[in-house]
A and B are shown apart, each in its own frame.
Chain A
Amino acid sequence: MSKITYREALNQAMCQEMERDDRVFLMGEEVAEYNGAYKVSQGMLDKFGPRRVIDTPITELGFAGLGVGAAMAGLRPVIEFMTWNFAILAADQIVNAAAKMKYMTGGQYDCPMVFRGAGGAAARVSSQHSQAFENWYANIPGLKVVMPSNPADAKGLLAASIRDNDTVIFIENEINYGDIGEVPEGEYIIPLGKADIKRVGKDITLIAHSRMTGYALLAAEELAKQGIDAEVVDPRTIRPLDEATILASVAKTNRAVVIEEGWRFAGIGAEISARIMEKAFDDLDAPVARVTGKDVPMPYAANLENYALPSVAEIVEAARVVCNRA
C-alpha cells in the first residue's frame, strides 16, 4: 500500500496496462506534452513515447471514431475526453458505433476500449462544464459505465476497464483528482460489476457513487451523532449494476436513500430505487428517497451553485425523513 492521489492512481493503472499490453495506447487533447489537462497522464509521454501517448487536435468526434476503428482493428484504445461535457460531440461514435458494433456485426467486430475523463460538477465552471451524464450512457445497451469514488478504486477499476472486452465509459471526478488514499502497489484489479460497502451500518442504506460517496460518508457520520447507523454502498460500476449487494443491504436496513449529483429526471437514482421497489418491496419500511442535483443547468454564482448541488445536509435530511425521524 502507498498513499497516493486519485490522479496518480489512474496514472498507475494506465502505465501498468500499457507495460503489459502493447495494444493499449492513450489518445486525447493535451494528454502528452502537457501531461494532461488535469495531469492524469503525467510522465506518460516520457515513459511510452509519442507512438502510444498521443495529443490530438480539438476534434472529439474525430478521435473518438478513430478509437472505435482502432479497437475494431485489434488495438485497445484509451480515449481521454478532457471532460465528459466535450464527449457530447463524440456521442455518435460512442452510442451508434462502439456500443452496438458487436451486435450489429453478429459478433464479427467488437470495441474493447475505454472512453475516460472527468465528469460531474467542477467548481464554478457554470452550465456547460458542470454536468453528470452517467445516466445517458448507462441507458445504452452495450456500454459499461464505471465511476470510482476513491484512489484505490480508481486504480483497480481503470485497470479492469482497460482489460475488459467491452466498451467502457469511465467517468472520473475533477474534484476528486487530488484526493489521497491508500492504494495497493503493483498490479491491482477490481472486477467490474461489484459494488463496495464503504461503511457498515444497520439502520439505513445510503447508495451513492463517485463524488457523492464521500458526501454519503460525511452524512453517515452526522447521522451517527443523531443515533442513526447508516450503511454506505458505492455501486462503483453503474452498469452492470451490482443489484445483489444493494438488495442485501436494504434487506438488512429496510430503508434506503439514493444519492447522485446529476439531474433527478430519469437519473441513476430512478433506476436504483425502481429495482429496490421491484425486488425488495417487502423489505422496505419506508419509500426510497432520492437526493439529486436540482433540475437546472449549473449556475456560476457561488451561492446558486451551492444550492444547485446536493449537499450533505440534504442527505442527512432525506435519511431522517426515511427513518421517520424528521
Chain B
Amino acid sequence: MTTKKQDDNQAGITQEGRFYSAERLHAMHDMMLYIRRFEEKAGQMYGLKKIGGFCHLCNGQEAVCVGMEEATEPTDYMMTSYRDHGHILARGTDGVAVMAELLGREGGVVGGKGGSMHMFDKSKNFAGGNGIVGEQVPIGTGFAFASKYRDDKRVSITIMGDGGVNQGAVYESFNMAALWKLPVVFVIENNQYAMGTSLSRASAETHLYKRGISFKVPGIQVDGMDVLEVERKMTEALEHARSGQGPIIVEMMTYRYRGHSMSDPATYRTRDEVDEWRSGRDPIVRLQKQMVEAGLATESEFKQKDKDIKKEIVAVAKAAEAQPEPELSKLWDDILTDEIPNAYPYPRQVG
C-alpha cells in the first residue's frame, strides 16, 4: 500500500487525522475534473449520434471513482456495472481508448465490440463493464475467491448500484463471501435512483450499508461527494478485507446529475433536488474550496486547469474519431463457434 506520510514541511490538508499532500490533492482534483469533462464530451458525441445505444454518464459521482482508486492498489481487482467510464478512467486507462470504445472504433479498450457498457482493461485489473444489473457481484466474489486461494492479498472491489443491490445473487454473494472470509469490498453507489425508481420505492431497508447484517457482513456509510472521505473510508475497508477479516459493505452516498442514460429526461426528480446536490454538494467544487482555503491553489489556477483539461478532452475525442472502425473479419474473433460451412451467403465474409 502506498503510505503517504506527513512531512512537516509539506503543504497539504489534514482531514480526520489523515494528511493529503498538495500534489496528491491536485491529482485527485484533476482526475475528477477530467472525468467530468470527459462525460460531458461523451454526452455531446451522443447528441451528435457518434455514440449509439445506451450511454450512462457518471457526472456527480466522480469523488466515488477517484477516492476509491486513490485507496486501492493497482493489483486489486475492480468491477462495476454499465456506468463504467469514470471508474476505468480513474484506474488509469487511456482516455483515447475509452473514447474510441464509445465510438465503436478499432482502438477502443475492447476493440469496439463492447461500447459504453462494456469497458474492460485486464492490464489495470478492471473487469468491466457489466450490462446485466447485479451480474458483477458474484463475479467480483469469485475474484476474491481466487485471491484467497492464492493468498496473494489482492482485494476485489465489487461495485453495484442502489437498484442492483436488490438482486438475489447479491445476497448469495454476501453469504459466501462472509462464510469463506473472502477479501471483497462490496461498494454500493447509492445515487438514490435506479432508472426512475427512487430508493424508497424499491427498498424496504433504505440504509443499504445494513444489508449485510444477517450475513455478518459489516457495513459503513460514506459521503460519496467528499473525495477525501471516500479515500479514507475506502482505505479502512480495504484494510479490513486485505487483513483476512472477510467482506465489508461500503455505501457511497452520491447523486447522478444526468438522467439514467442519454434517453432519460429524468422528470421523476425535482429541479430543486438536483440543484441541492449539484450546487450544494458538488465534489469538485468542494475540493477546490478546501484547497483554496488551505492556500494550496487559487481560483484562477483552477480556471486555467479547467481550460487545459477541456482542451485535452477535445484532443482525446479527435484522436478517437480519427481511428477506423474495426475490420469486418473481427466479427469472428474471440468467440468459439463451430463453423457451419456455407451457413451464410458468403461464409466468413458475411454479406
Contacts and interface: CB of A to CB of B under 8 A. Distances in A.
B117 A301 contact: no
Interface string A282-302: 000000000010111101111
Interface string B78-121: 00000000000000000000000100110010001111011000
A299 B108 CA distance: 12
B17 interface: no
B68 to A, nearest CB: 23
B56 to A, nearest CB: 12
Given A127-B114, A299-B113, A58 B343 contact: no
Interface residues of A, number: 46
Interface stretch (B182-190, B197-205, B237-245, B299-307): B197-205
A79 B108 CA distance: 38
A90 to B, nearest CB: 10
B43 to A, nearest CB: 16
A130 to B, nearest CB: 9
Given A59-B167, A127-B118, A304 B113 contact: yes
B337 interface: yes
Contact of A296 (B53, B104, B325, B337): B337
Contact of B112 (A37, A125, A299): A299
Nearest to B333: A296
Contacts of B332: 296
A307 B326 CA distance: 12
Nearest to A318: B345
A300 B131 contact: no
B196 A33 contact: yes
Contacts of A107: none
A58 B113 contact: no
Interface stretch (A13-21, A218-226, A308-316): A308-316
B104 A128 contact: no
A289 to B, nearest CB: 9
B351 interface: yes
B331 interface: yes
Contacts of B343: 264, 292, 295
A303 interface: yes
B203 A124 contact: no
Contact of B167 (A89, A292, A318, A321): A89
Interface residues of B, number: 46
Contacts of B118: 126-128, 300
Given A34-B268, A128-B132, A303-B328, A122 B104 contact: no
B300 to A, nearest CB: 41
A300 B132 contact: no
B335 interface: yes
A178 interface: no
B344 to A, nearest CB: 7
B220 interface: no
Contact of B340 (A37, A264, A304, A313): A264
B104 to A, nearest CB: 4
Interface in B171-201: 194-197, 201
Contact of A301 (B113, B197, B351): B113
Contacts of A300: 52-53, 101, 104, 112-115, 118
Contact of A321 (B104, B115, B345): B345
Contacts of B337: 295-296
Nearest to A88: B132
A55 B117 contact: no
A136 interface: no
Given A313-B351, A314-B344, A297 B335 contact: yes
A62 interface: yes
B326 A304 contact: yes
Interface of B: 52-54, 101, 104-105, 108, 112-115, 117-118, 130-134, 163-164, 166-168, 194-197, 201-203, 268, 325-326, 328, 330-332, 335, 337-338, 340, 343-345, 350-351
